[in-house]
Amino acid sequence: MSTALDAYWMPFTANRQFKQSPRLLTRAEGMHYIDDQGRQVLDGAAGLWCVNAGHNRPKIVQAIQQQAAELDYAPPFQMGHPKAFELAERLVKLLPEELTKVFYTNSGSEAVETALKMAIAYHRARGEGQRTRLIGRERGYHGVNFGGISVGGISTNRKMFGTMLGGVDHIRHTHDLARNAFSIGLPAYGAEFADDLERVIALHDASTIAAVIVEPVAGSTGVLIPPQGYLQRLREICDRHGILLIFDEVITGFGRTGSPFAAQTFGVVPDLMTVAKGLTNGCVPMGAVFARQSVHDVFMNGPEHLIEFFHGYTYSAHPLACAAALGTLDTYEEDGLLTRAAEMEGYFAEQLHSLKGEPNVIDVRNVGLVGGVELTPIAGEPAKRGFAAFLDCWNQGVLIRTTGDTIALSPPLIIARDQIDQLIGAIRTALRRL
C-alpha cells in the first residue's frame, strides 16, 4: 500500500527523514502493533506512555462503538450528558480522598493550561490576585501550549517560541548521577533539592506565587525518579507559603507507578492533578484536572446564575471520550491493572538493571513499570545514539521511546515476564551494536 506522505506535517518528528523511510502502524492487539509490512512489533512504550491496558481491549472498543451510535456530541457549556457525571464519580473514587472534583479537557497540554489558570484564578477569588507567578522545574515537561512551555524546563521545547514565557521561574531538577546512578527505585540522595523552592520564594516573595507544578516522575526529559523525601518536602514548603502544588500525572496516572496515581505511590497529595493518556487508554483524546474540594469551593461564591470559572473547551467531556474512559476503568479494574505495576516492579527492575555494564550505559532508573536507560552521548552529536537505539530496536520488532540519549520504557501494564525479557534483550542487542 503506497500512501501519499507529502501533505501531513508530523509533530515532534524529523519529517524529511521519516518520509524517506516511513514507519506506519496499521493494526494493534494487546502488547503488539502490526506495521504496514505485516510485521508484529512489541510495544515497549504503550504507544506514547498512554495505552496502559494494552491495545484494542474489547470493552473499550464496544463502549466507543455504542456511544458513537447513540450520542455523538453534547455541548458541555450549560448542558450535560449522564456519562460525564458517571465518569467523574468513578474517577474520584480512585483518587486520594482530598481530590473530589473533575474538570475535563482534551489532552494533557490542555489539562496543564487549565490547572495553571485555575491556580491563578483561585488566588484571585481568595483576594490574593497578586499571586500570578508559576513555578516549574528544570527539565520539566508540561505539554506544548504557551503555559506548559513556560513552566516547562526543556530548552528545545521553548527556544523557538519567543518571549511570551514571562511570569514564571524554575526550581532545579533532581538528576544526580554522581550520587544516585543505578539506583533501584527512589534514589537515596536529593530530598534537599526541594529546598531550592525556598530560594525562588525568597527571590519573588510568596505573596506573588500562585503554584508550583512538577511531574512526580519526570518522564519526557528521560525518566527522573524523585529522591526519597523530595516530594514530601515540596508539599511542606508549599503549605508553609500558601502556594498550590500541582502534580502533572499525565504519564504517572492510571497505574504506571504501581498505584492508581503517583500521589498514592509516594504518599503526597497535591492541590491539583493533571491527567490524560491512560485516562482513555490512549483511544480517544481526553484529559482532566482533579481538584481539592477546598480549591473548587473558593470559586463557588457570588450570584448563582453567574459562571464561576470562565474556562472550558468545545469538546470538554466529549461523549466518545467519556465512554472510552468508562470502558477503560472497567478494564483496569477487571484486570487489576491500577496496581499490577507494583507486582511487576521487582522483575522489571531486575531485568532493566541487568543492562548496567553494557556499552555506553551510564545510568538505569526505575519505578513501577517505567524505566530509563541513560547512554553516553556521541561527542558533538547529542541524541544520535538514542535515536540509533530506537531504530535498531524497531528493526528487531520492538518499539521503544528515546528522549535525547535516554531510552524511556513504559510498556502496557499487561506486559508478561517473557515480554519484559524480549524488550530488554532487544535493547541489549542494540547497545552492543551502537
Ligand X SMILES: Cc1ncc(COP(=O)(O)O)c(CNc2cccc(C(=O)O)c2)c1O
Grid cell at residue 241? 507559603
Q: Which part of the chain contacts ligand X (CB under 6 A), choosing from 106-114, 121-129, 321-329, 368-376? A: 106-114
∠372-401-156 over CA atoms, to 5°? 90
Q: Which of 67, 109, 180, 419 binds ligand X (CB under 6 A)?
A: 109
Residue 252 phi, psi (nearest 5)? -80, -15
Residue for grid cell 520488532: 397
**How far apart are the C-alpha atoms of 169 and 242, rounded to whole Å?**
17
* Residue 331 binds ligand X (CB under 6 A): no
284 is a site residue for ligand X (CB under 6 A) = no
Size of the chain in residues: 434
**135 is a site residue for ligand X (CB under 6 A):** no
Strands 32-35 and 25-29: antiparallel
Choose between 106 and 422: whose C-beta lies nearer to ligand X. 106
Span interacting with ligand X, options 85-93, 104-112, 185-193, 383-391, rule CB under 6 A: 104-112
Q: Is 108 in the site for ligand X (CB under 6 A)?
A: yes
Residue window 235-264: x/- pattern of binding to ligand X, with contact defined by CB under 6 A: -------------x-xx-------------
Rank residues 45 and 269 by Cβ distance to ligand X and give the closer one.
45
Q: Which residue is nearest to ligand X (CB)?
A: 108
Do residues 60 and 325 touch, judged by C-beta distance below 8 A?
Answer: no
Q: Is 174 in the site for ligand X (CB under 6 A)?
A: no
Interaction of residue 219 with ligand X, rule CB under 6 A = yes
Size, binding site for ligand X by CB under 6 A: 18
Site string for ligand X, 38-77 (x = CB under 6 A): ----------xx----------------------------
Given 180, 280, 403, 419, the residue binding ligand X (CB under 6 A): 403
C-alpha cell at position 432:
552492543
Q: Which of 67, 220, 316, 406 binds ligand X (CB under 6 A)?
A: 220
C-alpha cell belonging to residue 238: 508549599
Residue nearer to ligand X on the CB measure, 299 or 412: 412
Is 372 a binder of ligand X (CB under 6 A)? Answer: no
Q: Which of 67, 107, 280, 351 binds ligand X (CB under 6 A)?
A: 107
Contact positions vs ligand X (CB under 6 A): 48-49, 107-109, 112, 141-143, 215, 219-220, 248, 250-251, 276, 401, 403
